[in-house]
Amino acid sequence: MNISDVRTTTAKSSETWVEQMNIRNLPPCLAEQMRFLASLCDKEERMMADERYELIDGTAHNIAVLVCNSVADWSEPRPRIPAAVACAWHLAKKMVISAFDEEGQTEWNRIEDELRTLLIAGFYIS
């Protein structure tokens, strides 16, 4: 690794979650929830850790509902999620996992299971 690689790596690691977000082409409600999740994970607001974790969890579950709501055509067995929404979902995953430390993956699995359930229900209801 040369010196320019070190500078690039250091610069990227110091970015906040808000700076990494791209909310273009997101539904306004999803963009708002993503900004809120990023602010919680960036610890912009002073609050107790338990309160922060509860808000992160609730916001991530809200995002799962909004991802499900972004499906426009339920006629296919595998609903298509718009690319911008899928990118937001992937960034939400990174934020949640980093916020919950060791339990991050377990927490994300619960949220992902909820999205899976919502998508299955949406397919069979429509």
Question: In the prediction, which pLDDT does 14 show?
Answer: 56
What does pTM read for this prediction?
0.83
Distance, CA of 54 to CA of 49 (rounded, Å): 9
What confidence category does residue 9 fall into, taking pLDDT thresholds of 50, 70 and 90?
very low
SS (H, E, C) 33-85: HHHHHHHHHCCCCCCCHHHHHHHHHHHHHHHHHHHHHCCCCCCCCCCCCCHHH
Distance, CA of 73 to CA of 81 (rounded, Å): 9
For the cut 90, the answer to whether the pLDDT of residue 13 exceeds it is: no
Rounded average pLDDT over 43-59: 91
State what percent of residues in the chain have pLDDT above 70.
88
Query: Coil, strand, or helix at residue 26?
Result: coil
Q: Are 55 and 107 in contact (CB under 8 A)?
A: no
